[in-house]
Amino acid sequence: MEATLNPLTGFYKPHTALKGLYYGPDAVKQHLLSCLPSEKSKAFIITGNSLATKTPLIKELESLLSSKHHAGTFSNIKEHAPIAQLDEATDKVHSDETIDTIIAVGGGSPIDSAKAISHRLHEKGGNFLTLIDIPTTLSAAECTFLAGYTKEDGVKTGIAHPNVYASYIFYDPKFGLHTPPSLFASTGIRALDHAVEMQYHPTATLMPAQWSGLMAIKELFDLLPKYQANPKDEQLITRLFLAAYSSLGFLGGNIKGGLGLSHTMGYALGSPYGIPHGITSCLTLGNVVKLKARLSSDDAARVANILPFIGGTPSGDAAKDAETVGDRINGLVKDLGFKTTLTEKGVGKDQLDTIVKRASGGLNPDPNKKADSKEEALALEVRKLVEGLY
């Protein structure tokens, strides 16, 4: 079912899996053990190599769980969750029938991997596991029932199931403190991408999805420059974590299709070329917003609603105001030091056709011919947009 503003109609289906969201300093230390399903629970930690070897976080978490609750740790989840490591981690969890909980620590890759592992175990005839997420970035992967991972050919795929929602989320700034500031801030643009694309998603409801998204946009625009100036401020880190949740956590369980064109382009650019999704959003979001404003008066009106939340004054011309929103997003990216090009990221122009196909559902019409359909017309616009990223 679509959600519309005129007439104002829609349907919001909240997901019921989330039992608790804890936030603030030492939230993990104070509350994690109480979130385990039982006194006999065994938890398996999924994380990345840097967190396990370059920070004290994982050893402290293992100590907190103690031998009573700690079943093992897999710390080789790489960026974009390659399937080889996912297979290895799944085998380790599957081999221990005592494990009833996975604790994912890190960004989108460990969190998505934990979801995928639980889903795979269910497909093998087992039960879905309790998922506890401790994010260290602002990717907001903990907010969805979707899990992306990378196939052997470098293309991203994934699963979707309502039973892979997190049962508990911990936004503990002690964990965010160990994330490189440039990574933490760039994933904030990914969170901004969620919140902005929610504004024109056809199944995102006005309340609470789009309203919460608008507050996320306001917070991210306000807080990211402050965080960059003071990346050790735990109050800022906590508020940014909550803004990331607000960007996606209220989307609901009835979403149909992908989040939006910027995300689709991000998947086309991310894992195939080794570009982090925070940076893909830096490349695409502002330009996609400007494109949406040109192609659809309805989308322009929805994007224009963002302007007052980022310090702008509406002019009454939705197309103009939406264009301004796109410019301000690009301006924020530049001010944070994340402005880049595909050339700088090592993506050759010989990849143009491949990128367009991936971002346009396999379409790549001849730019010298008139489009035969709306889909082809959009693919041609995507091509122009990608050309502009070099």
In the prediction, which pLDDT does 6 show?
Answer: 85
* 66-70, 76-80, 82-86, range with greatest mean pLDDT: 66-70
List CB contacts of 30: < 8 A, sequence separation 6 or more: 22
User: What is the Cα–Cα distance from 353 to 346, expressed in whole angstroms?
Assistant: 16
- Look up the pTM and report it: 0.95
Which has more pLDDT, 257 or 105?
A: 105
In the prediction, which pLDDT does 183 show?
Answer: 97
Could you read off the pLDDT of 296-319 as tens digits, one per residue? 999 999 999 999 999 999 999 999
Residues of the chain with CATH 1.20.1090.10: 191-340
Could you read off the pLDDT of 180-196 as tens digits, one per residue? 999 999 999 999 999 99
**In this structure, CATH architecture of domain 20-179:** 3-Layer(aba) Sandwich (3.40)
Q: Looking at the DSSP assignment, which residues form a beta bridge with residue 170? A: 22
The per-type count for the chain, helices as H runs and strands as E runs, is: 15, 10
In the prediction, which pLDDT does 1 show?
Answer: 64
Residues of the chain with CATH 3.40.50.1970: 20-179
Could you read off the pLDDT of 314-334 as tens digits, one per residue? 999 999 999 999 999 999 999
Q: What is the mean pLDDT of the chain?
A: 95
Which has more pLDDT, 153 or 377?
A: 377
Q: Is the dihedral of CA 247, 143, 282, 185 positive or negative?
A: positive
In the prediction, which pLDDT does 266 show?
Answer: 95
CATH number listed for the domain at residues 191-340: 1.20.1090.10
